[in-house]
Amino acid sequence: MRPRVVGGLCLGVLTVGLPGLTAPAGGGDSVGADQLASVAELARAADVVGIGEAHDNPTHHTLQSLLLERMIGAGERPAVAFEMLAEDQQVAVDQALAQATSPVDFAERLQWRARGWPDFAMYYPLFEAARRFRLPVLATDLNTGARRVIAHGGLGALPALDRGQVASQLPEDSAREAAVRRQIEAVHCGMLPPGASGPMAEAWHARNVTMARRIAVAVAEGRKVVFVAGRAHLAADAVPGQLEAVRPGTRVLVIDLVERPDTTPLPNADLVITTVAVSRADECAELRRHQPPPAPDPSRRRAP
């Protein structure tokens, strides 16, 4: 079990407006300045501050930026680590921080749209703060090539040396692995080919191991790390669990940004901040609409 920084505190939203935080269309609450200061104070005790987001929720990104600014204002100079950037992009990230002339230029250098992430404008304030205060930005995710190899052929498809670096460090747990496979099948709308979820689960763990290792290096070098990722990567059996395995004793503060009322907070969250949900299209309905009809089953044809 990972060390806890604080224990299960639920930070409710306030109706008090906060400069710089725009409430979502249709109304909603914002986290008050005193709450934000409390979160920044709690972050002081952590080696890693993980902020779990819904990628397409603008309020989540605003909260991330405000918290980072609070930490900087309190004298902290953390590295900012992103799930959205693959490890083999680190040189491009460093060059973008040094040379990019605009948010559009920044996004193009990071291949943001090509990699499938939502509007870069939501994330740009984090990069801008990193540039302004000379904070390291860490590209932490597993490189795309390795992800594809594992997702299609499992860990066994990698060379032995690479396999050892990305294999899950968690103890064996068949119930956990079955739950991971079920979640992967649900995310893919139940449309995966038979047997596909097993290799994809191995790819999921490989990503979390890679992110944990990249973060652990920064912590070992004396850096606090603010880790920006989809909330699933902050579950106990995702990056926090892998980080505890690769660098025992690392103090992790898990901040879960939760859309109400339908999202269940992570059980291992130290802080929960609730926001209103954004409106989304039914992606599964779209997938099914474009799915080709099933081939006729010869065994069900009527005899002449």
- Average pLDDT, whole number, for the chain? 87
The alpha carbon of 161 is separated from its chain's Cα centroid by a whole number of angstroms, namely 26
Residues 102-128 have pLDDT tens digits of 999 999 999 999 999 999 999 999 999
**Cα(63)–Cα(54) distance, integer angstroms:** 12
Token output for 259: 């859309």
Which run of H or E residues covers position 48?
strand 48-53
Q: Is the pLDDT of residue 99 over 80?
A: yes
pLDDT digits (tens, 9 = 90+) for 224-252: 999 999 999 999 999 999 999 999 999 99
What is the predicted pLDDT for the residue at 87?
Answer: 98
pLDDT at 90: 98
pLDDT for 283 equals: 81
β-strands 48-53, 225-230 pairing = parallel
Q: How confident is the model at residue 32 (pLDDT cuts 50, 70, 90)?
A: low
pLDDT 10s digits, 38-55: 888 889 999 999 999 999
**What CATH number belongs to 9-17+28-291?**
3.40.50.11550
**pLDDT range class, residue 287, cuts 50, 70, 90:** confident
What is the structure's pLDDT at 297? 45
Furthest C-alpha separation in the chain: 83
Query: What local confidence, expressed as pLDDT, does residue 27 receive?
Result: 38
Residues 6+ apart with CB under 8 A from 168: 202, 205, 206, 208, 209, 242
Segment 293-299 mean pLDDT: 48
Q: What is the pLDDT of residue 31?
A: 58
**Which residues, in sequence order, are CB contacts of 205 under 8 Å at separation 6+?**
166, 167, 168, 170, 180, 242
pLDDT exceeding 90 applies to what percent of the chain?
Answer: 73
Residue 76: strand, helix, or coil: coil
pLDDT band at 293 (very low <50, low <70, confident <90, very high): low
Q: pLDDT at position 161, please?
A: 78
Give this prediction's pTM.
Answer: 0.87
Q: Band of the pLDDT at 177, cuts 50, 70, 90?
A: very high
